[in-house]
């Protein structure tokens, strides 16, 4: 009989915690696309963005500085946070919500899954590393997968070529933001401080565009608008990010494989919540994308 402090029990508990954390991330992360589609039914894209960013940013900063008493950014860190916020919040998420007006929620989740491949390719090109055949193969598989999944959606107005193109631009910008973040020295800034300030600054940069395009007739303020925004702000922007960071800290290689479940969960959530069709093109496209993601994850350390 094992005692309470038995290492076997501890390992088993840690294993279950890691599994539940990964499962939670894989459900929360792609749910953002569905929440965005619901929000767009009653609000303008930039209104959704600004409200989401300010709620999430203020909550994270309150926890970081008000509860945990973490230090404020200093000197050059403000510049780093501003650039990261511009890339990761203003441009990436600002354009993403615009793209989601013209693509299905399932496709939005599938496109997000291509990020590791694009990050790998961009890092190779920016830092002058040898461009490997496996990287090109992964990219081709992912792009073909997204286009194949989108093909039958064009005729039913679930997607447009312009929406797909804008979605790909979003993914490139996000990848650039990840590379920029990884190359900065954050001087041990707490992760909630980084996320909180980059979210707030990104929202501030997007505020002029939101004010310039605001049309009160296109925004129905109430619970139907706030429910998806609150979901995007708290479960996705705060909880989802923290779950992902926990997985990365525990084992970055194993964590990356949870990305495989994201597009699968995304299509299932979109089908259940928004009745988006799942056909042979969808499944085949998703499998191609997952194959590309698998290749880049499997061989990225070689």
Note the pLDDT of residue 299: 64
pLDDT band at 168 (very low <50, low <70, confident <90, very high): confident
194 vs 15, which has greater pLDDT?
A: 194
- Phi then psi for residue 186, to 5 deg, are -90, 5
Residues sharing a CB contact under 8 Å with residue 278, sequence separation 6 or more, in sequence order: 106, 267, 271
Q: Note the pLDDT of residue 1.
A: 46
CA-nearest of 244, 111, 85, 249 to 180 is: 85
- Hey, where are the domains in the chain? 33-299
pLDDT of residue 131: 72
What residues contact residue 105 under an 8 Å CB cut-off, 6+ apart?
Answer: 33, 34, 36, 37, 266, 269, 270, 273, 274, 276
Please give the biggest Cα pair distance in the chain. 69
pLDDT at site 284: 86
* pLDDT tens digits, 255-267: 666 777 788 888 8
- Whether residue 249 has pLDDT greater than 80: no
Q: Which residue has the higher pLDDT, 40 or 283?
A: 40
Alpha carbon distance, N-terminus to C-terminus of the chain: 44
pLDDT value of position 7: 60
Task: Return the pLDDT at 222.
Answer: 93
Query: With 0-12 CB in 10 A as exposed, 13-18 as middle and 19+ as buried, what is 75?
Result: exposed
pLDDT reading at 180 higher than 80: yes
Structure tokens at 28: 């929360």
pTM over 0.85: no
List C-alpha distances in Å: 173 to 170, 201, 238. 5, 17, 21
Q: Between residues 103 and 123, which one has the greater pLDDT?
A: 103
Asked if residue 272 has pLDDT above 60, the reply is: yes
Q: Is the pLDDT of residue 250 over 60?
A: yes
Among 58-67, 120-129, 183-192, 285-294, top mean pLDDT goes to: 58-67
* Highest averaged pLDDT of the listed ranges 22-26, 160-164, 209-213: 209-213
How many CB atoms lie under 10 A from the CB of residue 64? 22
Higher pLDDT, 240 or 246: 240
Average pLDDT value over all residues in the chain? 84
pLDDT at 155: 64
**Is 278 a residue whose pLDDT tops 50?**
yes
Average pLDDT over residues 178-193: 85
| Per-residue pLDDT, 157 | 59
User: Measuring CA to CA, which residue among 277, 275, 257, 272 is closest to residue 113?
Assistant: 257
Task: Tell whether the model's pLDDT for residue 25 goes beyond 50.
Answer: yes
The contacts of residue 280 (CB under 8 Å, 6+ apart) are none
Between 111 and 253, the higher pLDDT residue: 111
């Amino acid at each position: 009989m094992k005692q309470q402090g038995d290492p076997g029990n501890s390992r088993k508990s840690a294993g279950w915690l890691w599994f539940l954390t990964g499962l939670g991330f894989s459900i929360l992360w792609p749910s953002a696309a569905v929440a965005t589609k619901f929000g767009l039914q009653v609000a303008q894209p930039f209104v959704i963005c600004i409200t989401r960013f300010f709620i999430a940013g203020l909550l994270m900063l309150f926890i970081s500085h008000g509860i945990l008493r973490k230090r404020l950014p200093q000197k050059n860190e403000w510049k780093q946070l501003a650039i990261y916020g511009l890339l990761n919040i203003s441009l990436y998420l600002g354009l993403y919500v615009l793209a989601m007006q013209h693509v299905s929620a399932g496709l939005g989740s599938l496109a997000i899954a291509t990020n590791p491949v694009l990050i790998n390719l961009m890092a190779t090109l920016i830092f002058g590393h040898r461009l490997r055949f496996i990287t090109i193969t992964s990219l081709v598989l992912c792009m073909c997968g997204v286009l194949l999944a989108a093909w039958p959606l064009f005729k039913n107005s679930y997607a447009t070529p312009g929406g797909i193109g804008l979605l790909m631009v979003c993914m490139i910008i996000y990848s650039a933001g990840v590379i920029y973040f990884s190359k900065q020295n954050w001087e041990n800034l707490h992760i909630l401080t980084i996320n909180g300030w980059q979210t707030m600054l990104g929202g501030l940069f997007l505020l002029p565009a939101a004010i310039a395009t605001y049309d009160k007739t296109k925004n129905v303020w109430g619970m139907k608008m706030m429910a998806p925004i609150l979901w995007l702000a708290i479960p996705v922007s705060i909880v989802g990010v923290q779950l992902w960071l926990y997985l990365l800290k525990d084992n970055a290689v194993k964590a990356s494989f949870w990305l495989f479940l994201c597009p699968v969960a995304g299509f299932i959530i979109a089908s259940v919540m928004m009745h988006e069709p799942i056909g042979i093109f969808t499944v085949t496209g998703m499998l191609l994308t997952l194959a590309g993601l698998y290749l880049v994850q499997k061989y990225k350390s070689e």
